[in-house]
Amino acid sequence: NAEYMGIALRLPDVLGENEVPSSRHYRFQRLVATKQRVELGDDAGTRLSFVWVQDVARLCIALHEAVLSGHGPRLLGEAFNVGSRETPTLREYIERIGAILAVATDVSEKRKRHAFLPSVEVGPIDMAKLCTVLDGWEPTPLDKWLKRTVRWYSKHSELMVSSS
């Protein structure tokens, strides 16, 4: 709607360095790092969408610059899905954390899911519109930002535990 003078971004789980200690990523990484069992719901095999926090910031700047350079009419009033191109299952995501930490993962799928999660109920997001309209936009590959995130949490684990 061109009458709306803004741009809406639909974000899945935003992950990355400096997240709050209650974050789902930190909880999973702590369990894997300490070789504890990670219990998942019956939806553990569903494909999910994630986005790196730095990609969100980078995209906001790119959209701002595009509007300032005269591309506002094709952007303003639009809504865009933002995420990584990769859509791992939660089990695969946790196994990637284990691979980065060089630790075997112990994942079980015993309990029932107790909450509605849009990316589980609806499936992963589609970024085709964003990549078409904002020519040249490409999110950071999941494996690259996940390694940075895992390393950050490993380096700051005592800070994270003390602040949770």
126: left (phi over 0), alpha (psi -120 to 50) or beta: beta
Angle between the N-to-C axes of helices 24-33 and 142-155, in degrees from 0 to 180, rounded to the nearest 10: 70
Quick one: 11 exposed, middle or buried, by C-beta within 10 A (0-12, 13-18, 19+)?
Answer: middle
Dist. CA 164–CA 161, nearest whole Å: 5
Do 137 and 130 contact (CB within 8 A), yes or no? yes
pLDDT digits (tens, 9 = 90+) for 50-68: 999 999 999 999 999 999 9
pLDDT digits (tens, 9 = 90+) for 54-104: 999 999 999 999 999 998 888 988 999 999 999 999 899 999 999 999 999
Question: Residue 108 above 80 pLDDT?
Answer: yes
> What SS3 class is residue 140?
coil
Dist. CA 141–CA 97, nearest whole Å: 15
Dist. CA 125–CA 87, nearest whole Å: 9
Q: Return phi, psi of residue 91, to 5°.
A: -60, -50
Do 73 and 38 contact (CB within 8 A), yes or no? no
Dist. CA 75–CA 67, nearest whole Å: 7
Percent of the chain with pLDDT over 70: 83
- Reported pTM: 0.84
pLDDT at 1: 47
- Mean pLDDT of the 7-25 span: 80
**More confident call, 158 vs 10:** 10
Question: Residue 149 above 60 pLDDT?
Answer: yes
- Extract the tokens encoding 35: 């070789």
